[in-house]
Structure 1
Amino acid sequence: MVQRQIPRPSELLELMKFKKIDLDPKRRRLSSALTIEDLRTIAKRRTPAAAFDYTDGAAEREISMRRSVEAFEDIEFHPSILNDVSSVDTTTQILGGSSAQPFGIAPTGFTRLMQTEGEIAGASAAGEAGIPFTLSTLGTTSIEHVKEANPLGRNWFQLYVMRQREISYGLVERAAEAGFDTLFFTVDTPVAGARLRDSRNGFSIPPQLSLGTVVNAIPRPWWWWDFLTTAKLEFASLSETGGTVGELLNSAMDPSIDFEDLAEIRKMWPGKFAVKGVQTLEDAKKLADLGVDAVVLSNHGGRQLDRAPVPFHLLPEVSREIGKDVEIILDTGIRSGADIVAAIALGADFTMIGRAYLYGLMAGGKEGVDRTIEILASQVEQTMKLLQVPTLADLGPQHVTQLSRLTRLGEEESRPRVL
């Protein structure tokens, strides 16, 4: 029989350890976020539907985005044993410089519409964390202001080649003059993808006040206050900013760009040169033969061609074929530090985060971006320790098995360790 007794008051007092209440609501909500999904939940609650859906959505049925996320879920880790991981080293070298983490911030368009601090928050947070920040051609902060926000850190610039070539050439020159060290030549956006959430929301630049947007704004007055009381949106390239997102993209993009354009821009650029949006092994090989510094395996976050290849599935064969000749960066689908570790193990030299960064931005501005980086960095370190690998260089294909929900009909399975 269990013997029971009345607890003494002194014993009860020992158990009553109340956490001090943080009176700062932003700090309180951000500290409660333990994962990127937690930040997404906060972001959705605090951001008007049109702006949130622009970030959260993808093209058509959003199959590419969903598959890209699922690809990271469908892995199995294989830990080593009896290795000293009392401390682990997450630093890495990429594109001629160092990064404190194996991830950087990807280029995102219309960023100040997500939250008014926009690229300034991203660039300054990245600089403080010692990771690279990438400014989009369709960013809402100028090249020069990003440099001011991140004067000592690594800034990269993502380039769309536009119908008016002189605009693109001018951006290349400005980025070089501002000391950006890498150019990302983007090849997966000849025209805008069919982003149906944006069409259904009537999402435009600048946002238009309608009955729907007014009703949606009622529980989110802080967003509209920030938007209406801060500087007018300013794009890195476009002088004409009116219309839907699709109309803006289609007016700026040029479906006729080819390898001659790549060669022309490359001649102009003095720093490292990467090509973003590579989706086949054959194209990756061709670019490696041309001597580019890096290829970025990406389906644009699923925002362009729906049912495009999953970059994480493509990674092992690209790494085997050209990994010794060119650096490989992976973009799309990353939602945790474990995803980043898996990508490095299967041959990526570096990874980039887009939506994860924007969820943090929408959840709490610059502090929210800090929290995104903090969460991912902590998860990278924890995963490395649990795998018992002290450095990123110690990671390899032996640590990860890709499990696939998809099989190609009429084709023998060619990827090793895929179940």
Structure 2
Amino acid sequence: MVQRQLPKPAELFELMKFKKPQLDGRRRRLDAALTIDDLRTVAKRRTPAAAFDYTDGAAEGEISLARARQAFRDIEFHPGILRPAPDVDTSVEILGGSSALPFGIAPTGFTRLMQTEGEIAGASAAGAAGIPFTLSTLGTTSIEDVRAANPHGRNWFQLYVMRDREISYALARRAAAAGFDTLMFTVDTPVAGARLRDKRNGFSIPPQLSLKTVANAIPRPWWWWDFLTTPTLEFASLSSTGGTVGELLDAAMDPTISYDDLAVIRDLWPGKIVVKGVQNVADSVRLVDHGVDGIILSNHGGRQLDRAPVPFHLLPQVVREVGADATVMVDTGIMNGADIVAAMALGAKFTLIGRAYLYGLMAGGRQGVDRTIAILRDEIERTMKLLGVSTIAELEPGHVTQLRRLVPLAAPARRPAPSQP
């Protein structure tokens, strides 16, 4: 028989300790977000459909994005046992400088459309966290204002080669003058991808009002208040701002971009130069032969060519081919700190986050970006401790197995590199 007794009031009060309520609604939302997916849920609730879908969507059937995210889910970790790692060091050296974490913020366009703090929130949060921030050519904050928001941190600049080459050259010179230490030469956008969500939403810069837009905005008055009471949304580096996103990209980008353009920019830029948008081994080898400091395996977040190669799948082979001669980085599909740990274990020297950062921005401005970084930091540290490693350098391929769902019917033929110009 279980012995029972009436509880004493003092004992009841001891058990009934109520959590102090958080009266700050933004802080309450962000504290409740435990994962990047949680931040995405908050962002979707608080952002008009056109702006959210621009961030969340990808090209055509969005197959590339889905595959990239699935590739990170399809890994198996191999932890070591009896290897104490009570404290971990997440810092890395990347492109001639340090980063407190093995990831930085990727370049994103139209950022103030998602939330009015835009690139200022991203740059200042990155600076506070000790990680690099990358400003896009299609950014909505100027090079100089990003530098002012992150005066002591590492700022990188992402460059598109425009039809009018002098625009691109001038931007590179401005970024160098402002102390940006790395240039991200982007090669995967000769024309705009077919981003069908944007077309269906009639998404444009600046936003065009319609009955559908107004109806969608009614439950989100805070977004429209911010949008209407802050400086006009426009590209900080480009003068043309009217039209759909695809029209803007097609008007600005040049499908004739070539290695000759890379050579010009290489001579122009005084710092480190990396090429973003590399999607096969042969191109990786040729770029290293042309003297770039690094390459970023990326399919532009699945926003250009649908069914493009999965960057994370390419990583081990590219590292084997060029990892001793150039810095290999990876983006696309990262939604968890464990994804970053897996990439570092397979030889990446660094990773970049795009949507994960923007989900935080939409969920809560600068505080939301801080929350994104904090979530990923916690996941990285926890994964490292569970693997039994104390530093990023201790991660190695034996810690990870890539479990492939997509196996070619036959090995693809290696494309011969074009003859040297």
Q: Deviations over 1:294-316 (max 9, x none)?
A: 00000000000000000000000
Which residue number in structure 2 is paired with residue 319 of structure 1?
A: 319
The 1-side partners of 2:9 and 2:237 are apart by: 69
Which amino acid is the alignment partner of residue 285 of structure 2?
K
Partner of 1:365: 365
Written as runs of structure 1 = structure 2, the 5 A alignment for 1:234-313 is 234-313=234-313
Give the aligned residue type for 1:275: V
Cα displacement string for residues 109-136 of structure 1 (whole angstroms, at most 9, x for unaligned residues): 0000000000000000000000000000
How far residue 17 of structure 1 moved from its aligned partner, in angstroms, is: 1.3
Q: Specify the code of the residue in structure 2 equivalent to 1:386.
A: L
Q: Deviations over 1:321-340 (max 9, x none)?
A: 11111001111000010000
CA contact (8 A) 2:205 2:234 kept: no
Distance 1:244 1:311 in 2: 28
- Pairwise CA distance, 1:9: 1.9
How many pairs align?
412
SS at match of 2:65: helix
Runs of 4+ in structure 1 deviating by more than 6 angstroms, as ranges, are none
Distance between the aligned counterparts of 1:208 and 1:393, measured in 2?
A: 49
Shift in Å, 1:81: 1.8
Aligned amino acid, residue 175 of structure 2: A
CA distance in 2, matches of 1:138, 1:411: 38
Q: Structure 1 residue 233: deviation in Å?
A: 1.7
Match of 2:101 in 1: 101
Q: CA offset at residue 14 of structure 1? A: 1.5
2:68, 2:106 → 1: CA distance? 16
Task: Report if the CA contact (8 A) 2:163-2:254 is conserved.
Answer: yes
Report the Cα distance in structure 1 between the residues aligned to 2:354 and 2:327, rounded to whole angstroms: 20
How far does residue 364 in structure 1 lie from its aligned partner after superposition? 0.3
Distance (whole Å) between structure 1 residues aligned to residue 45 and residue 410 of structure 2: 46
For residues 29 and 321 of structure 2, the distance between their equivalents in structure 1, rounded to whole angstroms, comes to: 45
Q: Which residue of 1 aligns with 2:143?
A: 143
CA contact (8 A) 2:280 2:314 kept: yes
How far the C-alpha of 1:261 sits from its partner, in A, is 0.4
Distance of 1:378 and 1:308 partners within structure 2 = 31
Distance 2:2 2:238 in 1: 76
User: Could you tell me how far apart the structure 1 residues matched to 2:265 and 2:99 are?
Assistant: 26
Distance 1:373 1:335 in 2: 11
Q: Write the distance in 2 (CA, Å) between the matches of 1:287 and 1:2.
A: 76
RMSD: 0.9
* Contact residue 142 and residue 234 of structure 1 kept, 8 A: no
Q: Deviations over 1:348-386 (max 9, x none)?
A: 000000000000000000000000000001110110000
Which residue of structure 2 aligns with residue 406 of structure 1?
Answer: 406
> What's the counterpart of residue 171 of structure 2?
171
State the match for 2:72 in structure 1: 72
**1:214 is the counterpart of 2:207:** no
Matched to 1:131, the amino acid is: I
Cross-structure match for 2:155: 155
Counterpart residue type for residue 384 of structure 1: M
Identity of aligned residues (%): 75
- Quick one: distance in 1 between partners of 2:274 and 2:360? 26
**Which amino acid is 1:265 matched to?**
I
Equivalence for 1:112: 112
How far apart, CA to CA, are the structure 2 residues paired with 1:287 and 1:402? 26
**Contact 2:64/2:310 (8 A) holds in 1:** yes
Question: 1:260-319 CA deviation, whole Å, 9 max, x = no partner?
Answer: 001001100000000000000010011111121100000000000000000000000011
Secondary structure, in 3 states, of the residue corresponding to 1:156? strand
Structure 1 spans left out of the alignment, 5+ residues? 413-419
Counterpart position of 1:187: 187
Contact 1:74 1:402 in 2 (8 A): yes
> Could you list the per-position Cα deviations for residues 44-70 of structure 1 after superposition, in whole angstroms to 9, with x for gaps in the alignment?
000000000000000000000000000
The AA in structure 2 aligned to 1:326 is A
Which digits, 9 at most, give the CA deviation of each residue in 1:127-151, with x for residues without a partner? 0000000000000000000000000
SS at match of 1:368: helix
Give the whole-Å Cα distance in 1 for the aligned partners of 2:176 and 2:262: 17
Q: CA deviation at 1:39?
A: 0.3
Alignment of 1:340 with 2:340, yes or no, is yes
Residue 375 of structure 2 corresponds to 375
Residue 3 of structure 2 corresponds to 3
What is the CA-CA distance between 1:234 and the residue it aligns to? 3.2
> Comparing 235-244 with 34-43, which one deviates more in the overlay?
235-244
The residue aligned with 1:229 is 229
CA offset at residue 320 of structure 1?
A: 1.1
Q: Alpha-carbon deviations, 1:207-262, whole Å to 9, x = none? A: 01110010000000000000000001231322010100000000000000100001
2:189 is paired with a residue whose SS is: coil
